[in-house]
Amino acid sequence: MSLVLRSDDLPPDDRIEIIRDAIWTGVMPVEIDYDRPGPQIEVLCRLADVGPVNFSSARSTPTMLRRTPALARQDHDPKVFLAVQVSGTSMFAQGDNQAVLRAGDMAVYQSTRPYTVLNTNRTELHYFQVPRSALSLADATIDAVAGLRIGPDNNPLAAVVAHYFDTLGSTDVLDHPRAAEAIAGPSIDLIRALLTTHVADAQLAAAPMQGSLALRVQEYVRAHLADRDLSAATIAAAHHVSVRHLYAELERAGVGLQDTIRSLRLQECRRALRDPASAHLTVSSIGARWGFVDASHFGRVFRDAYGMTPREWRATSG
């Protein structure tokens, strides 16, 4: 479900701090500057997480957002943002690139480099944040596009992509879990297609997808760890390749599929065993939740990985 913040619902004197905290915790730490005092600020902000995709939408009076060098250097999972301009005019700057966006335009920028977003008048924008690794694109490809204006006049996919993401941001589809989960993967694919289409160098655009299957498989595994039927067959089908080709690509990348699945599932079990919210669950039910349907097998692989049984690990927490 979405979190919605309306300035009229917030105490005027605390408005700036509440909005800042919501953005820092729900989107990304940035400095936010306003051209007027808190009681005069008008904001309608919506935040939602959809699997690996983080969505935020803001309709507000003039603001300036700054991802400072210090914030960009902080340890975090690198993210890529797609901003979709719904109304008003905004300026985006990252590195040597700057873009002025009007309705229907888009821009991409990265969390690992400083950026500035200046909204000079009343604006509305949708922001879609995805893990950089999920795009399976080389840094050079993203660097070549970051901070540039993307619009129907310079990218043949722009009109389609902007309409798609504007629809996601303007309707309640993200409030329906099954529907939202279903569109997470295609949304990432669309952003990838938009970026590679915008890169003038055809070789640079095509190169990242060569050998990127291993990265995409690892992201898929993380997103589907709790699926009972997670297997080489289901993973291969989801990526439109044969099981044989899947294993060949993973071997070339030095990735062991079963080892990866088991290791990630064990990490989730280890966390859940000490999570107060899971205190009412038995050890075997926690194992089963993460794919270890045989309790004896779960105990053995957990002990092999961590040097103690699941029950011993849980007992040492308190």
Is the same domain home to 152 and 53?
yes
Is the same domain home to 192 and 71?
yes
pLDDT > 90? residue 91: yes
| The total number of structural domains that make up the chain | 3
- Note the pLDDT of residue 155: 92
Is the same domain home to 237 and 142?
no
Token pair, residue 147, equals 């901070």
Average pLDDT estimate for 85-114: 94
- 151-172 pLDDT, tens digit per residue, is 999 999 999 999 999 998 888 8
pLDDT, greater one: 260 or 76: 260
Percent of residues in the chain assigned helix, strand, coil, to nearest 5? 50, 20, 30
The Cα–Cα gap between 312 and 2 comes to 39
Quickly state the pLDDT bin for 129 (edges 50, 70, 90): very high
The Cα–Cα gap between 15 and 42 comes to 9
> Long-range contacts for 251-257 (Cβ within 8 Å, ≥24 apart)?
252/211, 252/214, 253/211, 253/214, 255/214, 255/217, 255/218, 257/217, 257/221, 257/232
Residue 241 burial (CB count, 10 A): 16
Task: Say if CB 221 and CB 235 are below 8 A apart.
Answer: yes
Is the same domain home to 273 and 192?
no
Instruction: Please report, rounded to a whole number, the percentage of residues in the chain having pLDDT higher than 90.
Output: 51
Is the same domain home to 225 and 132?
no
Range of the domain at 180: 3-208
pLDDT > 60? residue 71: yes
- 242-257 pLDDT, tens digit per residue, is 888 889 888 877 788 9
| Average pLDDT of the chain, as a whole number | 88
Say which amino acid occupies 212: S
Say which amino acid occupies 290: W
- Note the pLDDT of residue 318: 57
**DSSP-derived secondary structure for 192-256:** HHHHHHH-S-HHHHHGGGTT-HHHHHHHHHHHTTT-TT-SHHHHHHHTTS-HHHHHHHHHHHT--
Last residue of a domain, one of 174, 208, 242: 208
Task: Say if CB 84 and CB 165 are below 8 A apart.
Answer: yes
Q: What is the CATH number of the domain that holds 160?
A: 2.60.120.10
- Note the pLDDT of residue 239: 81
Is the same domain home to 215 and 283?
no
- 222-247 pLDDT, tens digit per residue, is 888 888 889 999 998 888 778 888 89
Average pLDDT estimate for 172-179: 85
Average pLDDT estimate for 177-196: 87
- Note the pLDDT of residue 210: 47
Token pair, residue 42, equals 């008008």
Is the same domain home to 43 and 143?
yes
- Note the pLDDT of residue 287: 92
Is the same domain home to 25 and 55?
yes
pLDDT > 70? residue 65: yes
- Note the pLDDT of residue 1: 64
The Cα–Cα gap between 89 and 118 comes to 9
Residue 117 burial (CB count, 10 A): 24
Say which amino acid occupies 110: Q
Q: DSSP 3-state assignment of 285?
A: helix
Is the same domain home to 176 and 225?
no
Last residue of a domain, one of 150, 180, 208: 208
Task: Say if CB 50 and CB 89 are below 8 A apart.
Answer: no
User: Distance between alpha carbon 20 and the CA centroid of its chain, in Å?
Assistant: 20
Is the same domain home to 243 and 289?
no
pLDDT > 70? residue 39: yes
Average pLDDT estimate for 118-138: 88
Is the same domain home to 270 and 229?
no
Is the same domain home to 147 and 291?
no
